[in-house]
Amino acid sequence: MSTVDFWKYEGTANDFILFEVEDAHADLDPQVVARLCDRHRGVGADGVLLVTPSSFGLDGRMVVRNADGSRPEMCGNGLRCVALHLATRRGDPRVLHLETDAGLRTCRLDATRRDDGETEFHVTIEMGTITVGEPITVPFHDRRVNLVPVDAGNPHAVAFEGLDDDDLDVLGAQLQLSEPFPRGVNLERVVMQPSPPGGGAEASVSVFERGVGRTMACGTGACAVAAALVARGAARPGQKITVVLPGGPLEITLDAEGRANMRGAARRVFAGRVSVPDSAWARS
């Protein structure tokens, strides 16, 4: 058992335990991840982020483990936290090129001074091409629900029709075992809002996240919703789309080819030390 440093970060209230690891192929045992993320008996988080050197000479590599120990391909909120961590540790570079399981992602940081004197950091990420699939219907209780499948580097299903909070949780769990989504899926419930002043489009979104459950925010989910809105004609390429999640807003823009930029806040909450079994560290 070794005692190791960790940092707690949050991006729009999606919270993470972050470790720095020198091995470029490092991974962490899923059972240990689940214990660390336990909000009653562990540190508590939606997931664990491993920050390692990049095998391709980039500024770093991010490995994500969800709260249940599963490994998603991508996490937009997590990547903003990693970018902020590396920027502050390395003297505040404004542009970082980071390796993820979904490919290269470029991150740009900006900082603003709030009225209370605190500095607020935002990170804009080039999220890659978001692909919208053909709508499908799935059985749910005594009805069928229409879903829009979206690939944002990880799988999403976007629902534009009536799901209450209980429905979102039950259907989200049901879809993890369903034939249309063999890798599981993140489920987003969308409620359109009046257009904000100055133009653009706005939607309120709640998320059931694969491997976590209900979360305060999901960066790739916000991109999936924005792409689905453009596909439906509810928003236009190049237009700012504000996705308001329980943890706060994310700003998404997509070009005509479906390439997305996501801008949102990131914040370091605290740092600490925690005991981790030596045997928990693995190589991927």
Give the distance, in angstroms, between the CA of residue 269 and the centroid of all CA atoms in the same chain.
17
- Domain identity same for 108 and 147: no
Model pLDDT, residue 41: 96
Model pLDDT, residue 241: 97
- Domain identity same for 97 and 159: no
Contact criterion met (CB below 8 Å) for 126 and 259: yes
Q: Looking at residue 47, which CATH number applies to its domain?
A: 3.10.310.10
Model pLDDT, residue 200: 87
Position 17 in a domain: yes
N-term to C-term CA, the chain = 21
Model pLDDT, residue 114: 83
Is 198 strand, coil or helix?
Answer: coil
Position 23 in a domain: yes
Position 283 in a domain: no
pTM given for the model? 0.93
Model pLDDT, residue 283: 84
Is there a catalytic annotation at residue 223? no
Position 234 in a domain: yes
Within 176-258, where are the H helices? 219-232
- Domain identity same for 98 and 158: no
Position 114 in a domain: yes
Alpha-carbon distances, residue 172 vs 34, 175, 212 (angstroms):
20, 5, 11
- Judged on CB neighbours under 10 Å (0-12, 13-18, 19+), 169 is middle
- Domain identity same for 51 and 144: no
Model pLDDT, residue 92: 75
- Domain identity same for 211 and 148: yes
Nearest residue to 106 (alpha-carbon basis) of 156, 60, 71? 60
Active-site pick, 37, 81, 218, 223: 218
- Ramachandran assignment for 233, one of left (phi > 0), alpha (psi -120 to 50 degrees), beta (any other): left
Structurally, the chain folds into a number of domains equal to 2
- Domain identity same for 103 and 14: yes
Full residue range of the structural domain in which residue 23 is found: 2-127+267-278
Position 217 in a domain: yes
- Domain identity same for 215 and 273: no
Model pLDDT, residue 125: 97
Position 94 in a domain: yes
Active-site pick, 37, 75, 107, 223: 75
- Domain identity same for 36 and 66: yes
- Domain identity same for 197 and 232: yes
Model pLDDT, residue 280: 96
- Domain identity same for 108 and 44: yes
Query: How far is the C-alpha of 151 from the C-alpha of 223, rounded, in Å?
Result: 10
Contact criterion met (CB below 8 Å) for 223 and 76: yes
Position 173 in a domain: yes
Question: Mean pLDDT of residues grouped by 10 in the chain (284 residues)?
Answer: 96 97 95 97 97 95 96 95 94 90 95 87 97 96 94 96 92 92 96 85 96 95 98 95 97 97 97 96 86
- Domain identity same for 55 and 109: yes
Is there a catalytic annotation at residue 81? no
- Domain identity same for 137 and 161: yes
